[in-house]
Structure 1
Amino acid sequence: MKQLVKIGLAISVVFWAVSLNAQQSDPHLIYEQNCAACHVPHAGDFVSENLVATENGLVGKASGRLVLDFLEAGHGRLSDKEIDDLIDQFEFIHESGRLFQEKCIICHDNAAKFARLKLILRDDILTGRYTDRNVAEFLLHHGRLDATEAQKMVEILTHQLQVE
């Protein structure tokens, strides 16, 4: 019996450590915990208001300095993994534009929360968690999206599920 308790405790500790590590790699959480106190509350707003893309990567509008160099020099005191995750997220945000904010934010809180609470990937198809609807098909008639925007939104929402 004591052996079973020890095994159960060990499994619980491993599960907790794995889930903690997964949470720490969430770029939204990284931004909110390490950046939002001094910058705007959401990474999407930060990217659109403060960064521009160059052939070398994202740079600060005001400084002209590469964001990657700035973070690697110690700004935010992030680990290498956190920097990589944040840069990947910033680049994704920049590439995807402000589509969610322009078309969806009026009814849905934010893309990450919405995707993680309401959607799921089933056989690699973005699906309503509770409605079982194919999101790509649903968006063709929802949210004032044209076909190109609907496909882009599926990519954005799918990305939100995959970054955790």
Structure 2
Amino acid sequence: MHGLTAALSALAILIAPGALASEADPHQLYENKCAGCHSPHAGDFVWLELDAGQEPLVGRNSGGSVAALLERGHGRLTPAEATILLAHFQAIRTSGQLFRTKCRMCHDTATGLVSRALILRDGTLTGRYTGRDIAQFLTVHGRLTPSEAEQMLGVLERIATSVDRID
């Protein structure tokens, strides 16, 4: 079982969440299968309910492996859904808490922001209604440093490619 957990963890880290979007929107999957018992949003779950200092991901209170728990079908997850969620949690963790610390005071969630106001046009993240190039906009928005603007662009693009929605 330990080998399977390690393999699942490695696979989840290597697979880009956008590549899994055709199977399921990780945000919607979390909200449908997990939010009833855990935090309403996956980002809150990762930062509030998982131990930020532990690798691989473990529960803050239980100390148990998230991969092992998901692998056993916690939340009635299929193996494919477990892989999607584990990759999603890892991507959230890797992206840091930049949205939480710099953006959340004005924008409720990154997923909500992307769904309401942003769109990928010809591979470029763009303001849905303004047509503004978001990479350029972030350099002068939210008091982001150049490296934070680049990091936030990556987060928003990851979400835009993983969220199933009709444009």
Q: TM-score scaled by structure 1?
A: 0.79
CA displacement 1:118-158 (0-9 Å, x = unmatched):
11122222111111111111111111111011001100100
The answer to whether the Cα contact below 8 Å between 1:120 and 1:161 also exists between their aligned partners in 2 is yes
Q: What is the Cα-based RMSD across aligned positions, in Å?
A: 1.7
Residue 99 of structure 1 aligns to which amino acid in structure 2? L
- Ranges in structure 2 where 5+ consecutive residues have no aligned partner: 1-20
Residue 87 of structure 1 aligns to which amino acid in structure 2? L
The equivalences for 1:38-77 within 5 A come to 38-52=37-51, 54-55=54-55, 57-77=56-76
1:93 maps to 2:92: yes
Question: What is the aligned-residue identity percentage?
Answer: 49
Higher relative contact order (CA 8 A, sep 6+): 2
Larger radius of gyration: 1
Higher-strand-fraction structure: 1
The equivalences for 1:6-155 within 5 A come to 25-52=24-51, 54-55=54-55, 57-155=56-154
SS at match of 2:48: helix
- Ranges in structure 1 where 5+ consecutive residues have no aligned partner: 1-21
How many residues of Structure 1 are paired with residues of Structure 2 in the alignment? 142
Q: Give the drift of 1:34.
A: 1.4
> For 2:23 and 2:37, how far apart are their aligned partners in 1?
20
> For 2:108 and 2:50, how far apart are their aligned partners in 1?
23
> For 1:143 and 1:67, how far apart are their aligned partners in 2?
33
> For 1:89 and 1:123, how far apart are their aligned partners in 2?
24
